Amino acid sequence: MATNRTFTMIKPDAFADGNTGAILSMIEKAGFKLIAAKLTHLTAETAGKFYAVHSERPFYNDLCKYMSSGPIVAVILEKENAVADFRTLIGATNPANAEDGTIRKIFARSIEANAVHGSDSDENAAIEGSFFFSELERI
């Protein structure tokens, strides 16, 4: 995957609240192109694999339960400087600390149910995109 790509998920809270369309619209208006998209439902096991890097953190078990609590939408995005620009667009992990106008500030319920995922590096964007999409499914 090219380094101008990042990976996001519309998390179960945002999907359940009916905010998928509004969030994808904000993402497109910010200049990101959709490369692949999939509506799916993680199990506790697949969520655990996705978040394996956090397996020693105190919030890990709750996070896996939450991420498997309902449908999600997984999306690969493309834009110049995609990883950093997308982190700016979504705002801080804890919506209480997120800048006004960011996706998490507008849509998140809590630090756990924070509406969207955003990759933290080019390397992880590629790994996370491959977790959900095969080569054939990407533009």
Active site amino acids: 117
Residue whose CB is less far from ligand UDP, 39 or 53? 53
Binding window for ligand UDP (CB under 6 A); candidates: 37-45, 107-115, 122-130, 131-139: 107-115
Q: Cα 85 from chain centroid?
A: 13
Site membership for ligand UDP, residue 117 (CB under 6 A): yes
Q: Is 72 exposed, middle or buried (0-12, 13-18, 19+ CB in 10 A)?
A: buried
In the set 3, 59, 65, 97, which binds ligand UDP (CB under 6 A)? 59
60: left (phi > 0), else alpha (psi -120 to 50), else beta?
alpha
Site membership for ligand UDP, residue 105 (CB under 6 A): no
Site membership for ligand UDP, residue 85 (CB under 6 A): no
